[in-house]
Amino acid sequence: MRHIYLAAFRWKDQRPRGEAPLVYSSALFFTLGVSAVSFAESQILVCMGAVLMGFGYGFVVTGFQIMSVRIVPPERRGTAASTYSMGWDVPMAFGGLIAGILNTKYGYDITFRLILLLYPIFVLIYVFVISKHPSAFRNWKRAQEMGRL
């Protein structure tokens, strides 16, 4: 819970840790939200799940936006942010299309449970691939200290 509070409300204090608290908080919020929606028996639980999913989405977008602009020179940050946004929109469109097909075939509850299975895979990809990229905070900070940036 401490990481969620710090990532959500004390970002200035978390800057030395980079995007990792945002990404991990996103995973937690999104998993809780999708779980709530997929197993919901009432509209209140669906609404609470949607709010949690919104927090999760907001954290992951922010964390990866930080990574996208950190590695480029200041005069190229607008281009990096725009490219990141376009790169985020394309999978969102295809994800909605695939989710619509799954909804038609299996229903909402099964579709959300299938989506729930994807998020641990996302976290593993972040831990083993994305966090090793030069734009990840720990690598960027190390390169800065060594005078490479």
Distance CA 76, CA 102 (A): 39
Average pLDDT across the chain, whole number: 81
In this structure, the dihedral spanned by the alpha carbons of residues 8, 11, 14 and 19, taken in order and rounded to 10 degrees, is 70
Structure tokens at 122: 């996302």
Segment 116-126, tens digit of pLDDT: 888 889 888 88
Cβ pair 48, 36 in contact under 8 A: yes
Those residues whose C-beta lies under 8 Å from the C-beta of residue 97, and which sit 6 or more positions away, are none
Cβ pair 67, 133 in contact under 8 A: yes
Per-domain boundaries in the chain: 2-145
Segment 94-106, tens digit of pLDDT: 988 999 999 999 9
pLDDT band at 67 (very low <50, low <70, confident <90, very high): confident
pLDDT of 23 strictly over 70: yes
Hey, what CATH class is 2-145 in?
Answer: mainly alpha
